[in-house]
Structure 1
Amino acid sequence: MTYIHKQFAPAKDTSVKSFAEIVRNFTPNWFAATMGTGALALVLNQFPMPLPGVHMVAEALWLFNIGLFSLFSLLYAARWACYFDEAKRIFHHPVMSMFFGTIPMGLATIVNGFIAFGPAMLGPQAIAIAHALWWLDAALSAVCGIAVPYLMFTRQEHSIEKLTAVWLLPIVACEVAAASAGLLAPHLAAQEGLLVLVLGYVLWACSVPLAMSILVLLVLRLALHKLPERDMGVSAWLALGPIGTGALGLLLLGGDAPAIFAANGHANIGDTALGFGVIGGIILWGYGVWWLALAVLKTLRYLREGLPFNLGWWGFTFPLAVYTLATFALYRATGLNLFAIGADVMTIGLASLWIMVASRTLNGVITTELFNSPCLKHPRWAARFETDVV
């Protein structure tokens, strides 16, 4: 007797859903929209070209993102409250469970916005809010970075041919929190600032080396099994995320280090961290050039074959945004016009991609066709896979 295990790929549901069905089908990949929207706001806030209203647009996007994140949090909490048995099936799903990482990464864009936009709106209270939210974000990131891989090792079925860059999502959350630490630390008192700075480096170390290891596996998978299915085509851009955020984290933490370590009696450590941040940021940025070029080439190929729209298209936005932010940071650190021009071009491309993806997402919300939980399509998902007897 032979058993064949089949991973389910549910058919697309195009029927209009009631609000109860929307809640029942709400999944954490929706938080990818908050990642892309919040990151675009932060990028536009640094855009140097003197275009009227850019700062106001950036601030409005950040405020909109707070509302979006709050709405998604309520909907997902409602799913767990009302459909607990169905919601917990996500722990067995080898793809959807990866999107738990989008929740703390979406929250991080809000934390960073309180630092960038908050003081002008709320005064010093904005930093206190950012500080409190950062601790929550760091905790959520650490939980995702440990718990989701543990589920991969104990409950889920994975194979090298099914590997995609989606594996990075729960891992990268920690380095996003590390970059937020780099923004927050200079606004805190000496001892508290040192604690946040050191924890920022710890979070960076919990994420970047592991993410780089996954990228090595991803190259092997692409060489052996070629490109993933079209539904996962946009995942090509996710590889840029840990590279851009890793570079940004080193630059921000390194930029903070001299003043913070000096204030705590360790000036020599701070100077070393500053140099390490700039050199490390340049090296990672250069690595990102290769992955960016590969993502563009892969996307062009997918577009020729037909690239179906899904929520994964938000993967166009956040990775490019953090890479753009790292490019802006390198320009501030080096003064090289190479980085300034590159960041400007990427900002324009990012804004164009956001408009395209947001408009198509809005259409999917109106028709309710994007509210589709793959776990619900198969009642026996708790067993992970249906077993057919041959």
Structure 2
Amino acid sequence: MTPNWYASVMGTGIVATAAVTLPVRVPGLHLLATGVWMLAAVLLIMLTATAVRRWQDALGHHTDPVMMHFYGAPPMAVLTVGAGTLLLGRDVIGLEAAVRVDWLLWGAGTIAGLYVAVAIPFLMVTRPGGTTADGAFGGWLMPVVVPMVSASTGALLVPYTPAGQLRLTMVLGCYAMFGISLIASLVIITQIWQRLVRHGAGPARMVPTLWIVLGPLGQSVTAANLLGDVADQALPGPYANGLRIFGVLYGVPLWGFALLWAALAAAVTLRTDLPFSPAWWSFTFPVGTLVTATSGLAVHTGADLFRVAAVLLYSGLLAIWTVVAARTVRERVAATRPAGHAVSG
């Protein structure tokens, strides 16, 4: 029971939530997204039940210099399913119940995420051998990107927060978490770039983690625009207007860099013979955040460029998720077969 399996919940959940944010309406897509959200919720329950039953195994990876970073995946999975509950689950369980469930999941995911964002870097700097020998890799971003996911999903809950100081605290708290994740991510991304040009892409099994860099980039643009939309519900006019403008002024340049990184990651991936592992789920959630970022920019700028890009990116996300999910099922089924089993023919 390794924490990186929670990336399957993240990747499945983002397929659902990204569908809701698209700036175009596709017949049947909402129904499909609802079904995918339900699948993500079931996966979250199953993985969490397994983790509780095998808690010693589940918590025993904090000494692994690679796997320990993926303790950021469980809280992000919880936050993703929570956001899907509010956006899609309201059609199934009703708005009031959806809000209550999302508050519960957002609170749990945020608390766990803030803990992980401190605890994992603490282990890295205080424990001998707490980092990988070749330096930074994409997995280093997993613990510190969780507060950014809390910021973007928290923006969805601002309208359901009591007006006054509580709502103001919610908005400012989300912006603070935006800052926590953004600064830490930029520091780490710089180190990843330096490692790549000095040591190359590394072993094939590590190549999918290059895509994780898209996570903080896309999620930060998504958060900036979502928070800008609700800032006027808590802050005075000049600040609210400034934050709404910030979403575009910040988002467009970051979107450009995200496309550059996506092209680089795709080129490295295509030239590598990749063995299957749970790391393949790194192809899904980060691309999903790029979809939500592009959709947000399409809404706020009205540019057809972003509308077309959002649709194309979401189509790519669906294709990637289908391949990774099918391969995961195939590998898990093969792993459960008795040793020496052979198919006659």
The Cα offsets for residues 73-125 of structure 1, whole Å up to 9 and x where unpaired, read as 01111111xxx3x5554121011111100001111111111221133331322
Matches within 5 A, 1:116-127: 116-121=87-92, 122-127=94-99
Secondary structure of the 2:134 match is helix
1:72 aligns with 2:44: no
* Aligned twin of 2:339: none
287-296 or 314-323: which moved more?
287-296
- Provide the alpha-carbon RMSD of the alignment: 1.7
* Aligned twin of 1:368: 335
Asked if the contact 2:23/2:298 (under 8 Å) is kept, the reply is no
Letter aligned with residue 56 of structure 1: L
Asked if the contact 1:241/1:318 (under 8 Å) is kept, the reply is yes
1:174 aligns with 2:141: no
* Aligned twin of 1:38: 13
Q: 1:188 to 1:53 in 2, by over 3 A?
A: same
Asked if the contact 1:254/1:278 (under 8 Å) is kept, the reply is no
Letter aligned with residue 112 of structure 2: L
Asked if the contact 2:158/2:230 (under 8 Å) is kept, the reply is yes
176-185 or 111-120: which moved more?
111-120
Distance between the aligned counterparts of 2:329 and 2:58, measured in 1?
24
Which of 117, 138, 149 aligns to 1:165? It is: 138
Letter aligned with residue 172 of structure 1: V
Distance between the aligned counterparts of 1:204 and 1:87, measured in 2?
28
1:55 aligns with 2:30: yes
* Aligned twin of 1:295: 265
Distance between the aligned counterparts of 1:283 and 1:209, measured in 2?
16
Give the ranges of 4+ consecutive aligned residues of structure 1 lying more than 6 Å apart after TM superposition.
Answer: none
Secondary structure of the 1:94 match is coil
Matches within 5 A, 1:1-390: 26-47=1-22, 50-80=25-55, 84=56, 87-121=58-92, 122-157=94-129, 158-159=131-132, 161-191=134-164, 192-261=166-235, 266-302=236-272, 306-368=273-335
The Cα shift of 1:348 comes to 0.5
Distance between the aligned counterparts of 1:137 and 1:307, measured in 2?
31
* Aligned twin of 2:343: none
Distance between the aligned counterparts of 1:257 and 1:310, measured in 2?
41
Q: 1:352 to 1:242 in 2, by over 3 A?
A: same
Letter aligned with residue 112 of structure 1: A
In structure 1, runs of 5+ residues without a counterpart are 1-25, 370-390
Distance between the aligned counterparts of 1:56 and 1:285, measured in 2?
29
Distance between the aligned counterparts of 1:159 and 1:137, measured in 2?
27
Distance between the aligned counterparts of 1:282 and 1:256, measured in 2?
20
Q: 1:272 to 1:52 in 2, by over 3 A?
A: closer
Asked if the contact 1:186/1:260 (under 8 Å) is kept, the reply is no
TM-score by length of 1: 0.82
Aligned length: 334
Distance between the aligned counterparts of 1:285 and 1:336, measured in 2?
14
Asked if the contact 1:171/1:211 (under 8 Å) is kept, the reply is yes
Letter aligned with residue 142 of structure 2: L
The Cα shift of 1:54 comes to 1.2
* Aligned twin of 1:380: none
Asked if the contact 1:34/1:68 (under 8 Å) is kept, the reply is yes
Secondary structure of the 2:271 match is helix
Asked if the contact 1:173/1:207 (under 8 Å) is kept, the reply is yes
Q: Percent identity?
A: 31
Letter aligned with residue 71 of structure 1: M
The Cα shift of 1:258 comes to 1.8
Q: 1:363 to 1:256 in 2, by over 3 A?
A: same
Higher RCO (Cα < 8 Å, 6 or more apart) = 1
The Cα shift of 1:48 comes to 5.1
221-230 or 120-129: which moved more?
120-129
Asked if the contact 2:51/2:58 (under 8 Å) is kept, the reply is no
Letter aligned with residue 288 of structure 2: A
Asked if the contact 1:168/1:211 (under 8 Å) is kept, the reply is yes
Letter aligned with residue 136 of structure 2: L
